[in-house]
A and B are shown apart, each in its own frame.
Chain A
Amino acid sequence: MELFSDRLKSFLRGPRPPAEAGPPANGGSAPGLVSMPGGHEAPESRPSRGLDQFFGSFRDQTGLSILDLGGAHQENVNFITNLGHKFYSEDFLRIFQETFGEDIADQSNPGRIDYFLRRSLEYPDEQFDGVLAWDALEYMEPALLFATADRLWRILKPKGYLLAIFHSAERKQRMVPCCGFRIQDPRTLQVSRHGERAASQQLFNNRSLEKLFHKFESVKFFLARDSLREVIVRK
């Protein structure tokens, strides 16, 4: 009850101003974020098998096109360009927030879905060898989510990979943490929590994720600590 009260207060207070020297860039300045009680948390390094698998699949290749949906982080830009790849950036959640705000019903409107996808994922078919979606898909309602998965399938090249992260398979809470993901090395992510977003009504257990990515050739799951679920899908 106290936690709920804190969250309500936090919601009513609105987003906190960005910290002076705070770490997050991704989404941290995006409107609509609800600050976490206690504000920004210190970034945490954690091993990521999904990331390892993602870049392992591109080993010994250069000149690939990698799309990062988490906005442009210096670390990710450096890591990907140092591998000799071309880095593409979309601040997906910012566009999501600008397009839909808190209006969940709007996420079922075909016109709005089309508008959103034109703003955020307007790329030629089979443009990318890899897409780092991070947790961007976790906040979407089913109609928008499936349309987005379909668009991601289209813009990926055959044999291309997508990495997505989901915080929990079961949806028990109304809010889920909002994170920035920075690549430290091919096996380690630095995760900074900087707020919460309303959770989607969509479940993200194995079965629902297989259904979501049914057009892809394979779906692989990695369960990390704190119920974090990393998913690698291959077109």
Chain B
Amino acid sequence: MSVWNKQRREEEPAVPLNTNTIRPTPSAPPVEPKKEGTTLSSMSSMPTGRMEPETSRGGSATIGKAVKINGQIYSREDLYVDGDVEGTIELMDHKLTIGPNGKVHAGVKAREVVALGVIQGNVEASERIEIRKDAKLVGDIKTARIIIEDGAYFKGSIDIVKSEPKAAPSQPRPQPAASAPAAAPVAVAASASDAKR
């Protein structure tokens, strides 16, 4: 292993990033089914059919403001959307942030949702949702907790669903990824980032 590689490793964040994320190679051309604008600077290259963008925002994937996506997005890490998305977004145990330029016409499921832009569609946030000032949300919300800032526009219904307390882990911490089966690294990475929160 070269010294250069060692230095790069030291620059990486302490919390391991989701190993499921496909990192872009510098020379890889951007691939996107539909895009507006000229660049995909904040979007990773990815195999066709996979929507797992680059980790450019401190452990979260980012869909930049010049990007438009039609389809289904599944992510096992936090996602920041500042572009246009039509379809569905599922993050399950992670946080979705719709940036001020973001326009989401989609059903959304996530652990936590923060809206600064526009969401049109139903939202399920298992922990909480924040609708910030100047955000616009049209749709029905199911969540355990909601925060609406003054100036936000909301049209729809709010169903407060008390989240069930998470069961205490009955087993000790998982073994290091090296000895785990193929799918284990993702779980380890996810639980590590959860622990950080």
Chain A interface residues toward B at CB < 8 A: 18, 22-25, 28-29, 65, 71-74, 77, 81, 86-91, 94
Contact = CB atoms under 8 A, between A and B. Distances in A.
Max chain A C-beta neighbours (<10 A), residue from B150, B156, B157, B160? B150
A56 B120 CA distance: 35
A25 B148 CA distance: 10
B116 to A, nearest CB: 15
B148 A74 contact: yes
Contacts of B154: 71-72, 89, 91
5 contacts: A71-B154, A74-B149, A87-B158, A88-B157, A89-B156
Contacts of B156: 88-89
A62 B158 CA distance: 14
Given A91-B155, A94-B153, A72 B160 contact: no
Contacts of B155: 89-91
Contact of B158 (A18, A71, A89): A89
Contacts of B149: 25, 74
Interface of B: 131, 146-160
Given A71-B153, A91-B153, A86 B148 contact: no
Contacts of B153: 71, 91, 94
B158 A73 contact: no
Nearest to A119: B155
4 residue pairs, one from A and one from B, having the closest CB atoms:
A25-B150, A72-B154, A81-B160, A87-B158
A71 B133 CA distance: 13
A88 B152 CA distance: 15
B157 A23 contact: no
A82 to B, nearest CB: 8
Contact of A74 (B147, B157, B159, B160): B147
Contacts of A29: 151
A90 B154 CA distance: 7
Nearest to A76: B148
A77 B141 CA distance: 12
